[in-house]
Amino acid sequence: MIQQTLVLIKPDGVARGLTGEIIKRFEQRGLKIVALKLVKIDNDLAKQHYTEDISKRLGEKVRNMLLNFITEGPIIAMIIEGVNAIENVRKIVGVTESKAALPGTIRGDFSHVSYSYADKKEIAIKNLVHASADETDAKNETALWFSIDEIFDYKRAGDEHIL
């Protein structure tokens, strides 16, 4: 099944100059970027992305740390498309806690912060990227971050292998 999913390269990934490497990981696996932009978001968009559901699951303090983090600098927002894109992107990204992410994943190769360290410092965990969790999140997040005229359909060399 061809899917689209949202990926954000968070302020730490942009600041560390890892955007090219992160994008390369997706493209090397045959996934296609159909939307891409560099943005510095305001608190309103951040609150729409990190909804109040996060407060219910993780607490208001965690949500506030996430809001502060995602608005602290520019981010790369992109929509990735491909076969089972949601699951494949999440595998490429690695688990949320960087220190537990396997080598070969983006977080496993470039980040190492643990929940306990972030909690002690009272900061959001700096794990480089956000990837939509499931189909519902992907649909909602892509619509939040991109208008329909910012999403492009094109043929990529190699598409004949998946059609």
Task: Return the pLDDT at 163.
Answer: 59
**Class (C level, CATH) for 2-149:** alpha beta
| Helices 19-28 and 85-93, axial angle in degrees (round to 10) | 130
51-87: b (≥16 Cβ within 10 Å) or e = eeebeeeeeeebbebbbebbbeeebbbbbbbbeebbe
| Sign of the CA dihedral running 34, 23, 36, 123 | positive
| For the chain, domain boundaries | 2-149
The secondary structure element, H or E, covering residue 125 is none
The model's pTM = 0.93
- Residues 77-114 have pLDDT tens digits of 999 999 999 999 999 999 999 889 999 999 999 998 89
Cβ distance 86 to 26 under 8 Å? no
- Please count the other Cβ atoms lying within 10 Å of the Cβ belonging to residue 42: 9
* Known catalytic membership, residue 112: no
